[in-house]
Structure 1
């Protein structure tokens, strides 16, 4: 594994699960109780794993913390990440690597996950490399256990944290720099309240900004200055993983000290690339690298 240059404190910390993705794309309308002809794509996955992998493709110094299965797949995930600019940390769980299955046709989809609680970060998690995480300028996670988040945030005070996938626990809201959710996740939180109004309420509790991704409609950035829409750059047939690509593009902009208003442009560019691929990962994200991106291996 590469040795970290401790004098550089601009890395990205990514904390979350690692899985195997099995994407089943039916050639015709999917029917129950019959053999559906399909294209099947296997790749490594897990939302935060994908963000770490993508950040590696973008040349960012990335520190990925996860729990890995005790099987060949778990080892292969670690090896693949280390081929990027990724430092990998985390315990091995005495189970096989979880599997995420997406089966879809042009109109509907079915989704399955075999993940177990043992693969999630819970409690105080004292064995995490907090000394490394605290040296990262930015961090992102989708883990939800309040005790874990309390410990993480208290031990990494200099890191600016982003929460992904839902609204974090109420008691931690003032600790988050930003929140990124999709339309469905925001509506689930807001209930009968309009999305933008619910996002504005989060800002009053300490969050600096909220981003709501809107699929083919682009994204909304909500700050105290107002609500700014961003159109999608390109449509595509493969939405799986484009949200993770969006996050990595966002982190690319943030790591370059751009204001948040400018960071949605690389985020949407990254999402547009993955929308063209049947798998959640795409090496083509390296097209978005800038000359100042870290190239250390």
Structure 2
């Protein structure tokens, strides 16, 4: 069975949705709420495709947090949780016709640290692991104790001393612009794949996919704008990892090329 471990936290989301393609100084929006957030959606789509799914998470001290955990465990997810004495993380999500913006409160659940006692031996057998953490010392411990997992940095970028232990990096254009440390996308892709990262993929705002591997690189319009919101991004990630069960990255990524170009 295919297996994956995901690091993430649950969230109480307040979602504002507008039909405009961009944010305006004044406009109407529809409001909805959602408990669980992106982490719950990501876990669910892997469970739905029969992946053995593990979740390493920090929980709030409220009923909503425990409900999120219970619902995923009932669906078959292995949840390893560390509880903090704070409420469930609160996020405000603004969705336009083309993009999604997520604002998270700073006084919510913190990132993992090396002092967090997590059963890392329980996930050392997983095929893939998704990391969104930015605590370098904690990440070093994870990579060292689960060296056979193919680790993918999602939403974030590994420090240079970790690159040899990283399988892939997935960013959108905005994330790359924040994390690039002054390097162009082309130079960054060349540098990290020459060091040992198998691939880097950037989902561009205009719907293009830019990819870099240690064998090839390219840019093409995709079948969908996978970088426009978190739901599409998660679906892209699932489809990519499914394809990588049978194909090399250079072949798998081209399956997302728009049929208009084939």
- Give the TM bin, normalised by the shorter chain: 0.7 to 0.9
Q: Describe how 1:195-234 pairs up with structure 2 within 5 A.
A: 195-234=185-224
- Give the unaligned 5+ runs of structure 1: 1-7, 270-297
TM-score, length of structure 2 as denominator length: 0.84
TM-score, length of structure 1 as denominator length: 0.75
The secondary structure found in structure 1 opposite 2:195 is coil
The secondary structure found in structure 2 opposite 1:166 is coil
Please, which moves more after superposition, 258-267 or 85-94? Answer: 258-267
Q: Does 2:74 correspond to 1:80?
A: no
Counterpart CA distance in 2 for 1:122 and 1:66 is 12
Larger strand percent: 2
Counterpart CA distance in 1 for 2:65 and 2:255 is 30
Counterpart CA distance in 1 for 2:15 and 2:90 is 10
Alignment match, 1:11: 3
Q: Does 2:7 correspond to 1:23?
A: no
Residues 138 and 160 of structure 1 are in contact (CA less than 8 Å); yes or no, is this contact kept in structure 2? yes
CA RMSD of superposed structures (Å) = 2.9
Residue-pair matches, total: 256
Q: Does 2:133 correspond to 1:154?
A: no
Deviations 1:166-224 (A, max 9, x none): 21122111110111111122233335543122111111222111111114423122112
Q: How much does 1:158 deviate? A: 1.3
The secondary structure found in structure 2 opposite 1:119 is coil
Counterpart CA distance in 1 for 2:100 and 2:229 is 12
- Give the unaligned 5+ runs of structure 2: none
Residues 13 and 133 of structure 1 are in contact (CA less than 8 Å); yes or no, is this contact kept in structure 2? yes
Residues 210 and 217 of structure 2 are in contact (CA less than 8 Å); yes or no, is this contact kept in structure 1? yes
Residues 206 and 225 of structure 2 are in contact (CA less than 8 Å); yes or no, is this contact kept in structure 1? yes
The answer to which structure, 1 or 2, has the higher relative contact order (CA under 8 A, 6+ apart) is: 1
